């Protein structure tokens, strides 16, 4: 679930709270003296540690191989049009 930074426009108090986007939008709508502020990139945590080796299925790996195979020519001097 993402974390959002909030600031009270009157007291300048700031805090970070974890909630869904629909909850955040409703909270801002109901509290006109509160605004959001950027607190870094949104973090959605799945319960595994970062870099914990999330695995994808074989179909996705096959798709990546197909894309690589179809685009393996790359840019060379012979296929650049300069006119």
- Domains in the chain, number: 1
The residue range of the domain holding 28 is 1-42
Q: For residue 74, how many other CB atoms are within 10 A of its CB?
A: 6
Please write the tens of the pLDDT for every residue from 10-58. Answer: 999 999 999 998 999 999 999 999 999 887 765 555 555 445 556 667 7
Please write the tens of the pLDDT for every residue from 50-83. Answer: 455 566 677 888 888 887 777 766 655 555 565 5
68 found inside a domain? no
pTM above 0.95, yes or no: no
66 found inside a domain? no
Q: What's the pLDDT band for 2 if we cut at 50, 70, 90? A: confident
63 found inside a domain? no
20 found inside a domain? yes
6 found inside a domain? yes
67 found inside a domain? no
Q: For residue 58, how many other CB atoms are within 10 A of its CB?
A: 8
8 found inside a domain? yes
């Amino acid at each position: 679930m993402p974390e959002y930074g909030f600031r009270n426009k009157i007291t300048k108090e700031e805090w970070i709270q974890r909630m869904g986007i629909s909850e955040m939008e409703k909270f801002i709508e109901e509290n006109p003296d509160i605004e959001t502020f950027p607190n870094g990139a949104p973090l959605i945590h799945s319960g595994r540690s970062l870099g914990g080796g999330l695995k994808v299925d074989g179909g996705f790996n096959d798709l990546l191989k197909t894309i690589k195979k179809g685009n393996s020519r790359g840019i060379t001097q012979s296929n650049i049009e300069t006119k």
